[in-house]
């Protein structure tokens, strides 16, 4: 009997530890799911997993494989089955599907109640308009690693079916200098193509707009003219500095046109395309759209919005130290900007037209509440900007008009999706409702 106890007690202890640990993880997953549901954050914004409960064996391989953890609790085990507990934190790595031993995970776009518009593309990233290609986030893949790969692959495909160009005609015009456009530019350079890359902001595109020091790349990637780069963990600043160094060393900076936006793309039939921008007109045999899904920033359309102190993204909170800053918006980007500036020593007012921050994640709402309690930040709900002046802003609130002394305005009101632009060009767009 004593010999049995010697072997049985350790086994029971291990089993009890396993059960307690699993219960703690399940409670954490339940809490995360409840927070997401309470905040209305139920619709993934990118490619995401759908889990077949019948096939799922509850091993937790998908949870452990998710690269977003532990910073984001994306997947969790509840009732012995895997669940997507924080849908809006999923950005489509796909590592969960690869790790699942039971083939219980399918990766899809959109949900039954919220569709996602995706342009129809061939296996070589060519759209329904021959000669126009799409790579990166606009095609549904939001990961930097995927965008880098697609930009290279699209240009390789364009080079293989290279059209005969006319005098003074480009082989390729690339729209966007984010991860896909940057990789595409390097690939075009490696093929000795005549190309120009247009970017409405700066090198990095959507990455340039991320908040300061945000983690932006977690897996290695193969970059044209450079080779395999193993950035397991890096900040936005480190990644942009690396890209700028590549731009200098490869000479692709001569082909990059920044602060220039495309206004129209018109087909010239077999002769290619005429592209009109805010600065010039280009003739190109092929066009690669690598513009992301955020499109152009949504503006307030109020007097004074063209003043230099008005911007549409936060780059560095430290630059607003001791300044009087108005942040406009009610989503995560607005709350993150307001809280970061307040924590850096800025005097912040957060204005939102709604009566609650229902679209923001709980942790961002908690940061705002903490800053407000500490007297670092003022929140004005049910308010709208009416006029922006050099040293003040005028708002309309539920209690009437309000005048605030002001040094800077950050508008975080989202972006205008490029779907209409794609349709004007003639590209067919389909809406995915929870399908691959």
Asked if residue 33 has pLDDT above 60, the reply is yes
Asked if residue 5 has pLDDT above 70, the reply is no
pLDDT at 317: 86
Tell me: the pLDDT tens digits for 175-204?
Answer: 998 889 999 999 999 999 999 999 987 887
Contact 159, 191 (CB under 8 A): yes
CATH code, domain carrying 366: 3.50.50.60
Handedness of CA 93, 98, 101, 103 (dihedral sign): positive
Residues 38 and 145 in one domain: no
Highest mean pLDDT among 34-48, 136-150, 345-359: 345-359
Decide if 305 is inside a domain.
no
Pairing mode, strands 347-352 and 324-328: parallel
**Mean pLDDT over the full length of the chain:** 85
Report whether the peptide linkage leading into residue 70 is cis, meaning its omega lies within 30 degrees of zero.
yes
The residue among 66, 4, 78, 8 whose CA lies nearest residue 36 is 78
**What average pLDDT does the segment 153-163 reach?**
89
Q: Tell me the pTM.
A: 0.71
Tell me: the pLDDT tens digits for 14-26?
Answer: 777 777 777 888 8
Decide if 352 is inside a domain.
yes
Alpha-carbon span 293 to 116, nearest angstrom: 11
Tell me: the pLDDT tens digits for 205-256?
Answer: 766 655 555 555 556 777 888 887 776 666 777 778 888 899 999 999 999 9
Question: How many domains is the chain partitioned into structurally?
Answer: 3
Selected residue with higher pLDDT from 157 and 205: 157
* 3-class secondary-structure state, position 308: coil
Residues 235 and 252 in one domain: yes
Residues 227 and 145 in one domain: yes
Residues 405 and 423 in one domain: no
Decide if 301 is inside a domain.
no
Asked if residue 29 has pLDDT above 90, the reply is no
Asked if residue 403 has pLDDT above 70, the reply is yes
Selected residue with higher pLDDT from 155 and 107: 155
Q: Where are the alpha helices (DSSP H) in 140-298?
A: 144-160, 179-190, 236-250
Residues 152 and 65 in one domain: no
pLDDT at 274: 94
Contact 29, 85 (CB under 8 A): yes
Decide if 324 is inside a domain.
yes
Last residue of a domain, one of 108, 140, 164: 108
pLDDT at 43: 76
Residues 260 and 144 in one domain: yes
Decide if 302 is inside a domain.
no
Residues 287 and 343 in one domain: no
**Residue 87 sits in which domain range?**
2-108
């Amino acid at each position: 009997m004593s010999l049995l106890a010697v072997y049985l007690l350790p086994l029971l202890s291990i089993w009890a530890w396993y059960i307690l640990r699993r219960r703690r993880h399940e409670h954490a997953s339940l809490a995360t799911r409840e927070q997401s549901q309470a905040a209305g954050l139920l619709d993934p914004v990118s490619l995401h997993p759908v889990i077949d409960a019948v096939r799922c064996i509850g091993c937790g391989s998908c949870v452990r494989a998710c690269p977003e953890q532990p910073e984001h609790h994306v997947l969790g085990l509840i009732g012995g089955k895997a669940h997507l507990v924080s849908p809006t934190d999923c950005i489509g790595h796909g590592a969960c599907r690869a790790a699942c031993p039971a083939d219980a995970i399918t990766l899809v776009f959109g949900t039954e109640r919220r569709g996602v518009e995706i342009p129809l593309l061939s296996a070589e990233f060519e759209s329904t308009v021959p000669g126009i290609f799409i790579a990166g986030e606009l095609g549904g893949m939001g990961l930097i690693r995927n965008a880098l790969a697609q930009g290279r692959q699209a240009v390789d495909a364009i080079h293989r079916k290279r059209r005969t160009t006319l005098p003074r005609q480009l082989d390729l015009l690339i729209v966007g200098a984010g991860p896909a456009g940057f990789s595409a530019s390097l690939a075009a350079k490696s093929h000795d193509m005549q190309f120009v890359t247009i970017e409405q902001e700066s090198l990095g595109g959507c990455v340039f707009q991320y908040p300061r020091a945000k983690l932006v790349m977690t897996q290695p990637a193969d970059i044209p003219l450079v080779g395999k780069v193993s950035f397991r963990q890096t900040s936005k600043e480190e990644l942009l500095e690396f890209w700028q160094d590549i731009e200098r060393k490869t000479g692709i900076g001569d082909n990059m046109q920044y602060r220039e936006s495309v206004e129209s793309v018109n087909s010239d039939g077999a002769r290619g395309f005429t592209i009109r921008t805010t600065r010039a007109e280009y003739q190109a045999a092929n066009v690669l759209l690598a513009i992301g899904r955020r499109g152009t920033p949504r503006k307030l359309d109020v007097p004074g919005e063209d003043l230099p102190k008005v911007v549409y993204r936060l780059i560095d909170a430290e630059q607003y130290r001791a300044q009087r800053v108005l942040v406009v918006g009610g989503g995560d980007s607005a709350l993150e900007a307001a809280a970061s500036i307040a924590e850096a020593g800025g005097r912040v007012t957060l204005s939102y037209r709604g009566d609650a921050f229902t679209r923001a994640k709980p942790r961002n709402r908690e940061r705002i509440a903490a800053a407000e309690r500490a007297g670092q930040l003022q929140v004005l709900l049910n308010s709208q900007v009416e006029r922006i002046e050099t040293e003040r802003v005028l708002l309309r609130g539920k209690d009437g008009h309000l005048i605030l002394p002001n040094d800077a305005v950050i508008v975080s009101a989202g972006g205008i999706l490029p779907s209409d632009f794609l349709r004007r060009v003639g590209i067919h767009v389909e809406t995915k409702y929870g399908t691959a």
